[in-house]
Chains A and B, each alone.
Chain A
Amino acid sequence: MKRWRNLVFAVSLFGLMSIAPFAVAGGSEQEPVIDFNDFIPAQFQDQFDDINGDGIPDFVDGPVEGPTGVRGIWDDAFGEVDDQTYQTIEADLAEADKGSSLTGPCKGVAISYDADGMSVDAIIDTGGGDPLIDVFGNQAMTRGNPMKVDTGGVLLYFGSSQPATFHNHRWFIQAAGIFKDDGGDPNPRDKNRNAGSVNFGELLPFEFTALVHANGAWVDEWGPAELPEMDSYPEPNCVGEGWVQFVGANPLFTTPGAVSLALALAGFTGVLFNARPALSWRE
């Protein structure tokens, strides 16, 4: 009887943990205030449509196959997205909370998609001192409103430093104190914008879910030396931080989730039944 009770308890707990993420992920009541179609060049408009009704353009025929076919689509369309487009964005940030920022001339758009090409989340920064905002005009990349990225999907991005152009620049981006990437360029061709995609489904060996804090910096005229993390950087620069939530499959059905669950169950069993003090008869 006791074992049956424990079994029912364990199955109930597992079911609750499996269903909870889907139950919590309800639809939003807010209306989109930003039309992300404005940031997709005209020649690519027919590849996108708002299929899931979240105000963010989705891939009509599923996600593109790998980053090669998409990288630079906005680079080629020089002039399609200029400062005028960003000036049309207005957001009410009176109720914005802390936790995300992007300072300096940098601005850009990022849209994340799941494995089926449906949009998951989108953020935009219009440059200057205002924080990043989401499709509803709320402050984005905060702890309470992180940028959601599907680890089985694709992330499209467009960024620029208009009207500034950085030369001999260095940059870095890091997350959770675990991942870090950095680079730089003399920039002899005076590029001040870039676009591309990251196909997480192909890059990662397995899907995972997690909430991470990311930060980064991009400094003009820094030179070839590696850019360290500093309290303040030489001007001009772009410095940002924010929260990213990796989403996708049910956490328990990802490799890290399954391993964690196995460890938790083993540890719980060991603590309860093998580490507990015990009385024994004296010989």
Chain B
Amino acid sequence: MTSQTTLHRHPIRGVIWGLVLGLGVTGLLMVFSIIELSILNLIIYTAAVTVAGLLWGLFAPPKKPKGTAPAGYAAPSAPTAASTPPPVATAASTPPPAAGSAEPMARMGDADSDDMGDDDMADSDPDDDEETAG
């Protein structure tokens, strides 16, 4: 799988969402009187969480790819007629999958179907730091 996927990193998204999270967390710490209300604290805590967001966008464990792999890239790992026995014919049998089918990959993608991520957005995001996994 790793040789057929591309890793999209999101440093700018990490900074933006980290900034939002930092402002919120710092605000909560202040309204609960855990830290002192001051401009300096606001800057320090927000900056720290923003940096954490940046690092998360760069180095967090990547989400698995969704959907099925393109047929061309799944071909090398798909079973071939020479290496696998022919399917046993039964009355209710279905046709065997064609060479190049990505069914195993599709299952892997489905396993992460509960993930609320938005992988589709990654492809058109200008802040994507794209690299090939492998």
Contacts and interface: CB of A to CB of B under 8 A. Distances in A.
Given A266-B24, A267-B21, A282-B70, A275 B63 contact: no
A195 interface: no
B48 to A, nearest CB: 13
Interface string A167-209: 0000000001110000000000000000000000000000011
B22 A276 contact: no
Interface stretch (B32-40, B84-92, B93-101): B32-40
Nearest to B121: A274
Nearest to A277: B62
Contacts, number: 180
B118 to A, nearest CB: 6
Contact of A277 (B30, B35, B58): B58
A12 interface: no
Interface string A242-283: 000100000110101101111111111011011111111111
A262 B24 CA distance: 7
A251 B14 CA distance: 28
B17 A271 contact: yes
A281 B31 contact: no
Give the size range of B's interface with the partner: 35 or more
Contacts of A20: 32
A267 B5 contact: no
Interface stretch (A79-87, A210-218, A227-235): A210-218
B121 to A, nearest CB: 7
Contact of B57 (A3, A265, A277): A277
A270 B23 contact: no
A270 B21 contact: yes
B81 interface: no
Contacts of A21: 32
A261 B65 CA distance: 32
A211 B6 contact: no
Interface string B40-70: 1000000001000100111111111111111
Given A257-B28, A265-B24, A273-B116, A280 B4 contact: no
Contacts of B105: 281
Contacts of A3: 114
Nearest to A21: B32
B119 A260 contact: no
A145 to B, nearest CB: 13
A176 B73 CA distance: 60
A266 B28 contact: no
B47 to A, nearest CB: 14
Given A275-B57, A281-B5, A260 B37 contact: no
Contacts of A252: 31
A264 B64 contact: no
Nearest to A20: B32
18 contacts: A17-B32, A252-B31, A260-B27, A266-B20, A267-B19, A267-B24, A270-B13, A270-B17, A271-B17, A275-B13, A275-B16, A277-B58, A277-B63, A278-B10, A279-B64, A281-B68, A282-B6, A282-B132
Closest 9 CB pairs of A and B: A267-B21, A260-B27, A264-B24, A263-B24, A270-B17, A267-B20, A211-B33, A275-B13, A251-B31
